[in-house]
Structure 1
Amino acid sequence: MDHDGVLVPAPVPPEREPGLAGRPAPRRVVAAWGLWDWGQQTFNTVVLTFVFSVYITSAVAENETVGSAALGNAQAWAGVAIALLCPVMGTFADRIGRRRQLLGISTIALAASMAAMVVVMPDPGWLGYAVWMLAFASVVSEIAGVFYNGMLLQIATPSTFGRISGMGWGLGYLGGLVALVASLFLFVLGKEPETIRYVALFSGIWTAVFCLPLLLIGPDTPPADRDAPRFSFLGAYRDIVRRIATMWREQRYLLHFFLASAVFRDGLAGVFAFAGVIAAGSFGFSQEEVIYLGIAANLVAGVSTWLFGRFDDRAGSRVLIVGGLGVIIAAGVGILLLDGTAAFWVCAMVISACVGPVQSASRALLARLTPLGLENENFGLYATTGRAVAFLSPFAFTVAIRIGGAQLWGILGIVVVLAIGLIAFLPLRVPAHAARGGDARAVTS
């Protein structure tokens, strides 16, 4: 602890230190790290949000109500699995090493599960298989993200966390954009409804191809010493509980960040989850028009996230998070109050310009707050706390619709969740070493 009373994480012994060099990794490694996000994002953009999920609810299920309920139920159980598995998988990676191999296994599982959905025909008999395979893909995607995010501490320094994190998020959005455009022309426009199922196979191949470079040349962590105690899942959960108790006593700012960010990140997830649904249900968008919305949103988000990465390193992640959330809340209210498709498009693009930078800044801030040797565990807890409150946006969305009597009012529910997250985040006191990309291992004066 320094003389200002700010807790500084203790240095990690060299044998436990996985990397974090004094300078960023070679450009080809950084490029491969960003390219993984480009490849993986097709799951979130094409499969989960704009194309395949809409195909499930509108063409596979007997009607959209039944399809949406089945999809929501499966994703809820996926959230439970993610909450239980992500922190222990993060601990597993920190303890046994071989992070690149673990990333490879989870990435291959994601690509394979997407490809396996190509058999889903537009028939209600396939609904169960479709929603549960999609749920499995959601789980392995989040687990892969834990290992991937942990690599950030190996390829960047605290002074470059913002720009490199922003580069990764930006490439992810742009990759999702390109994959979405390709899906539109190859499988949607002028095609029979059942042709849309081929986007699943396309997305699986896309992920496998573009994620491969990182799996070949990405930084790795050494395997655990042979004399180290065997890893135990029950023991890992016990250690996680002890870690949380320690954070409450000694690193309360980190626990505060986990909880506050969980709420506003769930609000951001709600934006993605319900964007296409609101566009179609409240503004009459067709399947093709929903895809056009996704293309525009990903283009704006990709460019803005990339550009704001440098602002993150200069002004600090906190400034970017607070400002971005404020703008998103205002634009969300604008969609509700300003009638018409044109107003929806404008506000949707404003929201898209802020969602990515807020997500990237949140990841960069956690990287700066994380002691070396605990990055996978911290990012596992990051995923878990997000999933622990994953019911908030769907619940608020539903309640707001019931109160307002129309689907459009669901936007207000998402806005409320974002506002609660912002209010919870505002009192957070970021330690001086993490405020603007300072070295997380250096004692501040």
Structure 2
Amino acid sequence: MKDSLAQKTVSRGADFKGRFGWMMFDWAAQPYFTLILTFIFAPYFTNHFMADGVQGQAAWSFTQTAAGLILAIMAPILGSIADRTGPRKPWIMVFAVVYIIGTSLLWFAAPGAENMISLVVVAIILAAVGIEFAGVFNNAMLPSVALPGKMGKLSGFGWALGYVGGLITLVIVLGLLSASKETGLTMLGLAPVLGFDPNLYEADRFVGPLAAIWFVIFVIPMFLFTPDEVPSEIKKAKVVDSAIAGLKDTGVLLAGLLGRPNILKFFVARMVYYDGLSALFAFGGIYASFVFNWTITTLGIFGIILSVAAALGAYVGGWCDDWFGPKKTIIVALVGLIVSALGILSVDGQSALWMIDLPQDTGETGLFATLGEKIILIFGIGIGLFAGPAQAASRTMLVKIIPEGETTKYFGLFALSGKATAFLAPLLIGILTLAFDDQRMSLVTIIGFLVVGIVVFLSVKEERE
């Protein structure tokens, strides 16, 4: 009877404030992915904090590998503890603290500060683990928050809202905090409001504390307004017992997937293409920065343009998800990502698209002045447009194919499929970058993961098993 009542509660969804609060988590969290992982801090770490670009990319890849291993090991255990001992918000709070500590410590990544390398590496791992686990528990609330038949729209709108949040933080950094080395002024022609020295890359480093402050402020609506479900019959379970049960349940559920081949193929496909997509975010900006030696201003404007495209893509993708179904949405998005990544890979400073020779020493100045930069910008916009739909539609695809009444445990596997091999793409990128002494290995690896992912996904049926 209690289970039946819970199902009815879930089916009604949350009120507007509850749904808005849930989406605000994406708004609060996105600066990590925009400022730290993609456009500002990662390129700074790779090309300026570390001794050289190749060694820097390898070091960054290994920090992501370590974070991915932690996520893979702990995701099923923590998921079971949360399901069995109470609501999810306390877990979001715990990992929010981990995230805030990690991002705040990034300030100490001063150029040439070799004594700080260990601290900064630990901080990067803490930030990644904190925000990813907080996101896992926030995602797990989606089925109970969304209105009937509107899960795709809510998921897509959440991604879109997040991209807008990331866009605004980029504008803050470029317009108010980051000054040009030549003029001493920001993109808006102002003196940096906090007096940051561009020669010490202080604005690049401050994006860590800024992301922490942003999260603290804007995650509040989720804690205040979004309802949090509590498993009624087992909410008093002990943590250790729940962890052991979680491992057993995960093993049983994984074994049971052999009898549900459609769901198994989806998880395998999603695991592979999500690894590629995550690596694309982590290393795309690093590669573009390396090829053309972009400054923080150019990187930031590149990020603003891509964030606008990503917000638009996620918004439209949410509608497409409900209109055409998540499978078609995911396929189109993955094809678009592969084409875009190939386009960026084709630009190496000497040629583009493997057939166009790029003019050298033309004396052109300004933003995206050269032909090669324009080509990277065009394909970068493609990545922005297709990234959001690929991520958001994956959440609703799962709901379409799993048995009714088993949403929670399959969302646990969904989280695991996104984390179980999250270390693999960064690890391969690090190994291949060092082996070939070539930063293009990052994009080669990413494209390989996306291609394998879509090949497996094509055989997945959009029907309940």
Under a length normalisation based on structure 2, what TM-score does the superposition of the two structures give?
Answer: 0.83
Aligned to 1:163: 153
Q: Does 1:430 align with 2:456?
A: no
Aligned to 1:195: 202
Q: How many Å separate the matches in 1 of 2:343 and 2:433?
A: 17
Q: How many Å separate the matches in 2 of 1:252 and 1:232?
A: 28
Shift of 1:370: 4.9
85, 109, 112: which one aligns with 2:101: 112
Q: Does 1:357 align with 2:352?
A: no
Q: How many Å separate the matches in 1 of 2:427 and 2:124?
A: 21
Aligned to 1:20: 10
Q: Which runs of 5+ in 2 are unaligned?
A: 181-196, 347-351, 357-371
Matches within 5 A, 1:14-413: 14=4, 17=7, 19-22=9-12, 24-122=13-111, 123-190=113-180, 191-192=197-198, 193-196=200-203, 197-222=205-230, 224-225=232-233, 229-230=237-238, 231-249=241-259, 251-335=260-344, 336=346, 338=353, 339=356, 340-370=372-402, 375-394=407-426, 397=429, 406-408=438-440, 410-413=442-445
Q: How many Å separate the matches in 2 of 1:51 and 1:21?
A: 41
Change (3 A) 1:400 1:423: farther
With 124-133 and 112-121 compared, the bigger mean Cα shift is at: 112-121
Q: How many Å separate the matches in 2 of 1:70 and 1:332?
A: 22
Q: How many Å separate the matches in 1 of 2:309 and 2:8?
A: 35
Q: How many Å separate the matches in 1 of 2:309 and 2:315?
A: 10
After superposition, the C-alpha distances for 1:279-312 in whole angstroms (9 at most, x for unaligned) are 1122332232122111111110011111220110
Change (3 A) 1:218 1:397: same
With 335-344 and 422-431 compared, the bigger mean Cα shift is at: 335-344
Q: How many Å separate the matches in 2 of 1:392 and 1:109?
A: 23
Letter in structure 1 aligned against 2:41 = F
Letter in structure 1 aligned against 2:179 = L
Answer yes or no: is the 8 Å Cα contact 2:58–2:433 preserved in 1: no
Aligned to 1:437: none
Shift of 1:217: 1.5
Shift of 1:372: 6.8
Q: 3-state SS of the aligned residue for 1:220?
A: coil
Shift of 1:170: 0.5
Shift of 1:326: 1.3
Shift of 1:320: 0.3
After superposition, the C-alpha distances for 1:172-224 in whole angstroms (9 at most, x for unaligned) are 11111111121223332233324222222111010010011101111112265
Q: How many Å separate the matches in 2 of 1:265 and 1:134?
A: 20
Change (3 A) 1:18 1:185: farther
Q: How many Å separate the matches in 2 of 1:407 and 1:112?
A: 30
Question: Structure 1 vs Structure 2: percent identity of aligned residues?
Answer: 29
Aligned to 1:421: 453
Answer yes or no: is the 8 Å Cα contact 2:429–2:442 preserved in 1: yes
Answer yes or no: is the 8 Å Cα contact 2:310–2:387 preserved in 1: yes
Letter in structure 2 aligned against 1:416 = G
Change (3 A) 1:18 1:391: farther
Answer yes or no: is the 8 Å Cα contact 1:41–1:176 preserved in 2: yes
Letter in structure 2 aligned against 1:354 = F
Answer yes or no: is the 8 Å Cα contact 2:170–2:304 preserved in 1: yes
Q: How many Å separate the matches in 2 of 1:42 and 1:83?
A: 23
Letter in structure 2 aligned against 1:254 = I
With 410-419 and 308-317 compared, the bigger mean Cα shift is at: 410-419
Answer yes or no: is the 8 Å Cα contact 2:157–2:318 preserved in 1: yes
After superposition, the C-alpha distances for 1:28-84 in whole angstroms (9 at most, x for unaligned) are 221111111001111111122222223333333333344333332222111110001
Aligned to 1:440: none
Letter in structure 1 aligned against 2:153 = R
Letter in structure 1 aligned against 2:229 = T
Q: 3-state SS of the aligned residue for 2:157?
A: helix
Q: How many Å separate the matches in 2 of 1:296 and 1:414?
A: 22
Aligned to 1:6: none
Shift of 1:365: 1.4
Q: How many Å separate the matches in 1 of 2:121 and 2:19?
A: 35
Change (3 A) 1:137 1:227: closer
Letter in structure 2 aligned against 1:42 = P
Q: How many Å separate the matches in 1 of 2:235 and 2:388?
A: 43
Shift of 1:348: 1.3
Answer yes or no: is the 8 Å Cα contact 1:301–1:354 preserved in 2: yes
Answer yes or no: is the 8 Å Cα contact 1:38–1:173 preserved in 2: yes
Letter in structure 2 aligned against 1:272 = F
Q: 3-state SS of the aligned residue for 1:361?
A: helix
